[in-house]
Amino acid sequence: MSKALLSANALTCIREDRILFDQLSFDILPGDLIQIEGPNGAGKTSLLRILAGLSRPYDGCVEYAGKNIERDREGYYENLLYIGHLAGVKGELTAQENLDFNLQMHGDHCDNIEAALSEVKLTGFEDALASHLSAGQNRRIALARLWQSEVKVWILDEPFTAIDKAGVSELETLFVQHIDNGGTVIFTSHQDLQIGAQRLKRITLDYNFY
């Protein structure tokens, strides 16, 4: 039996005096594709940020390969790719400059940036300023990192936002390739995905009124 790659241990999250989730525990194994689902306000983004080590839970902890991520943050971040709900690109930089900056900042490979931009259908827009591109194109700049990343854990908040059907299908294919190589993908989405139910696992959060 595979050991857990990522573990949530009795996580409690409180925002503005409201309990979003309480004593939430689960294990994520190599090869798992996990969709965090639930209504707006249930805490999906908060959970992703806690799993990524960007926010701290009110109680509980997250472990990567059996180690508390708070005690081995550097080791965890070397194996983590997080892309939030916002594109996170700089309008004053070109598509190529943005991708190069993000790859270097996160220690990813920078040797084939043009190929990565081609994968997200930005060929011909490499030298265009991000401020001159559409929301969908800016989202594609951020997602191009996925084609260059070799880390194990991908945590993605609404990765399909502003992406057309063809782009969604390409991302789904990439997700399956990543988990087939022993990685894991944890994501939120309001999209109806075509990935088979046997490959996709779900963690459902409920909206708490207390």
Per-residue pLDDT tens digits for 186-196? 999 987 778 87
- What pTM does this model have? 0.92
Per-residue pLDDT tens digits for 26-43? 999 999 999 999 999 999
Q: For residue 83, what is the DSSP state?
A: E
Q: What is the pLDDT of residue 87?
A: 76
Contact between residue 119 and residue 147 where contact means Cβ atoms under 8 Å apart: yes
Q: What is the pLDDT of residue 93?
A: 94
- In total, the chain counts a number of residues equal to 210
pLDDT at 106 over 80: no
CA–CA distances in Å: residue 133 to residues 49, 83, 159, 163:
27, 19, 18, 14
Q: Write out the DSSP string of 28-62.
A: E-TT-EEEEE-STTSSHHHHHHHHTTSS--SEEEE
